[in-house]
Chains A and B, each alone.
Chain A
Amino acid sequence: MTVDLKRHPDSDGDSPHSSPSLLSAIKRKILGGKSKARDRFASLGVYGFEKRELPILAALVTEDPLLLIGLSGTGKTYLLNSISEALGLEHRHYNASLISFDDLVGFPYPDDAKESVRFLQTPATIWGAESVLVDEISRCKPEHQNRLFSLVHERRVQGIALETLRYRWAAMNPSTSDQGEGEEYIGSEPLDPALADRFALIVDVADWKELSASNRKRISDPAGEGSVANDGGALKKTLALWRQEFETQLEVCDPNIIDYACAVVTALGDGGIRISPRRSRLLTRTLLAAVIIDGEFKDKSFRVVLEASLPHRTWGDPPDTSKVLAAHRLAWDAVMLSGVEQWVHRFHLEHSLAGKVRLLRDTCLGPDAGTLAVEQFLASESKERSAAFALAVYPGAVDGKLAIGAEGINDLGRMATQVMDVDGEINWQERLSSKNTIAPEFTRIATALKRLKGARLERATQLFYWCLINGISVENPRKFESDFHASVRAVGARSRK
């Protein structure tokens, strides 16, 4: 799915970076018209990377750290070495399992004045390098991993800035806890999350079974072996244009990209997939690069970049694919849709009940939008959250304090009136040796209720009693009640106004 920027409310603003004409110009200048999927690495003699092309190219544009993960012999190292050849870079290739720190920086010796230490430079030392590939990074000793932090993250070694270094790449086999039924890589350990989080992009490389028939033939063909990758400078030239555009747009990044990054990180967090604030920034940079490469906002490109931006599988905890896709869908729709649809998606992106109520109270686009949001919420949320939301909102909606249509109020009322008047039984098992016990769930709830008083206590009691008689176990009663109370206050604030 692509989005026509002309339709988007944010696209017709003053900022030149987001204007359709500029994007069209980029397209004409760089791509020569409508962008198409193309295998740019085939011209370097590297095959099978079409589907991974975008995140790898984006990493070349942003010059942020890139990590390739794949089985042995899938061309990870070959690709990165070929790119460095095509770009004419001063390249260093280290094997992290064998490297010692002296190999990286050179042998230290005191300077003539004997006041500081210099390093004896060799063709293998990192000084002066423009690109560096740390191969087998998952087999690295822990103390070396720590030293690589500053290299990967800050382009520094021993606190000394590597002025010429542009590209930081790494490659690894799947770690021991993330391996399938096939090959096992003894010694390929999960990466330290702190190190993994420094890589902006983590790209899985295709194995034989994922390759097309033509790529299998091209890979199997031994012709051209050993020759230096040379595409006549096409990649270098294109990258230079993209990079120039990237640096220009970085200062006034398209708000849609920032909004998408914020929305998707929030949605992933709600789904239990934590993304660090640093990664949110890296994601924004990569998305900007992807937009420049594509010449337009592409749904699929954003999804591919998002998937390649999640570092969790490097430490053996791959995220739930369905959650990632759902988060992408929610964020994409929230940012790229317009009008009522966009507002409804923003409503769903907001996790806290109080936040939803504030959105309803302050920014709702009308009774139809309110009704749509409420109906979708009640249909998709857990029973206890639906009940809490309905109870908090229904009386205010009846009083006309919130922009919800009659259908929405009726839906809220069907749920809320059940909670407003509770009459039922709770059941539990009691040991024969015990007498006069209290229902365990009741005890849990009592701990949340005991600190409350007045109207807040009455409302919370009502809600928790409803949960009890419906056999609903609230995971965190205090947090749940707190969110419910904030929702009530949010509606009550409008009532007082």
Chain B
Amino acid sequence: MSTKTPSGLAEYYLARELASIRGPAMANSMAQGRAICHAREQGLSESTIQRVKEQHRCNSGGPMSRHRTERLTASILAKGDGVIRCPRVTRLALDFGGSDPLTVMHALLREHGLEHAEQLREVFNPSEDRCICRLDPRPRRLRVADADPKKVLCKALLLGLCTTVLYDPERPVLWTRSSLSRCLELYEGGGFYA
């Protein structure tokens, strides 16, 4: 002989118990847990328990839906596995420590016998092709104090030819505290039209 309560009755008991729960949130959820365990012991199926729980939530004004979040990432820059290839050309980032970027760079220029940044074009002959730029999310800065001065001057020249979105060799070399402190990645854009 079965000792289980008939399912309809067990459902009714569970609904009644859930409806009668009043009190602080913690006590509420404990009481709900007890009621559900009891219902399980009575042999009530999980789907029925779920239905009664939702009915209870609905009647008590509780939420009928939950908030879902999903992360989406996609990039066509520096992609090696797709049809579209926009390879990274270079990364530009200088670390001036606590020094003023303009003072440091002008001092470096003078050390190499140059008067202004435009003269660096003749020294380094920068690429004549424009590039896509974007701010480097994980920059690897070149420490100006320790690095080869020529490398620093070359990167500073390129930074002077960049905005945050475009490397344009036709524009004048603009050195500002902001442009010299930027961390940029440069990409070729031609592969976008593959």
* Chain A contact residues, CB within 8 Å of chain B: 394-396, 398-400, 406, 409-410, 413-414, 416-417, 420-433, 437, 439, 454-455, 458-459, 461-462, 465, 468-469, 488, 491-492, 495
Contacts and interface: CB of A to CB of B under 8 A. Distances in A.
Contacts, number: 126
A357 B120 CA distance: 37
Query: Which 6 pairs between the two chains have the least Cβ-Cβ distance?
Result: A413-B165, A395-B189, A492-B193, A395-B192, A455-B83, A429-B65
Given A420-B134, A459-B76, A459-B192, A454 B83 contact: yes
Contact of B82 (A396, A429, A458): A458
16 contacts: A400-B130, A406-B171, A413-B164, A414-B165, A417-B132, A420-B75, A420-B134, A422-B74, A429-B67, A429-B68, A432-B63, A455-B83, A455-B84, A458-B84, A462-B74, A465-B72
A465 B71 CA distance: 10
Contacts of B163: 410, 413
A495 B75 contact: no
Contacts of B164: 413-414
A426 B130 contact: no
A462 B66 contact: no
Contact of A458 (B50, B65, B68, B76): B76
A116 B190 CA distance: 77
A432 B64 CA distance: 6
Contacts of B189: 394-396, 398-399
Nearest to A421: B75
Given A396-B193, A413-B133, A414-B165, A432 B54 contact: yes
A125 B79 CA distance: 81
A438 to B, nearest CB: 9
Contact of B70 (A399, A422, A425, A432): A425
Given A410-B166, A416-B165, A423-B73, 13 more contacts: A399-B129, A406-B170, A409-B130, A417-B165, A420-B75, A424-B71, A429-B68, A432-B63, A432-B65, A458-B76, A458-B82, A461-B74, A495-B190
Contacts of B69: 425-427
B180 interface: no
A462 B165 CA distance: 18
Contacts of A432: 54, 57, 63-66
Contacts of B193: 395-396, 488, 491-492, 495
Contacts of A413: 132-133, 163-166
B165 A426 contact: no
A461 B72 CA distance: 11
B72 A427 contact: no
Nearest to A453: B83
B49 to A, nearest CB: 12
Contact of A399 (B63, B67, B170, B190): B190
Chain B contact-residue range equals 35 or more
Nearest to B189: A395
A428 B72 CA distance: 13
A425 B165 CA distance: 24
B75 A406 contact: no
A370 to B, nearest CB: 15
A19 B174 CA distance: 52
B173 interface: no
A424 B72 contact: yes
Interface in B102-136: 129-134
A430 B65 contact: yes
A454 B54 CA distance: 45
A439 B64 CA distance: 17
A204 to B, nearest CB: 52
B86 interface: yes
A239 B193 CA distance: 60
Contact of A422 (B66, B73, B192): B73
B168 A420 contact: no
B156 interface: no
A426 B66 contact: no
B158 interface: no
Given A413-B133, A429-B67, A455 B72 contact: no
A49 B21 CA distance: 78
Contacts of B75: 420-423, 462
A454 B82 CA distance: 8
Interface string B39-52: 00000000000100
Contacts of B15: none
A140 to B, nearest CB: 55
Contacts of A461: 74
Nearest to B50: A433
B77 interface: yes
Contacts of A422: 72-75
Given A413-B166, A459-B192, A495-B193, A429 B72 contact: no
Nearest to B71: A425
Contacts of A431: 64-65
Contact of B76 (A400, A414, A420, A429): A420
Given A398-B166, A410-B165, A421-B134, A427 B67 contact: yes
A428 B171 contact: no
Contacts of A468: 72
Contacts of B70: 425-426, 439
B84 A394 contact: no
Given A400-B130, A414-B165, A420-B134, A395 B72 contact: no
Nearest to B82: A458
A228 B32 CA distance: 95
Contacts of B129: 399
Nearest to B190: A399
A469 B75 CA distance: 14
Nearest to A465: B74
A426 B67 CA distance: 11
A298 to B, nearest CB: 45
B77 A421 contact: yes
Contacts of B170: 406
Given A398-B166, A409-B166, A458 B83 contact: yes
Contacts of A416: 165
A496 B77 CA distance: 21
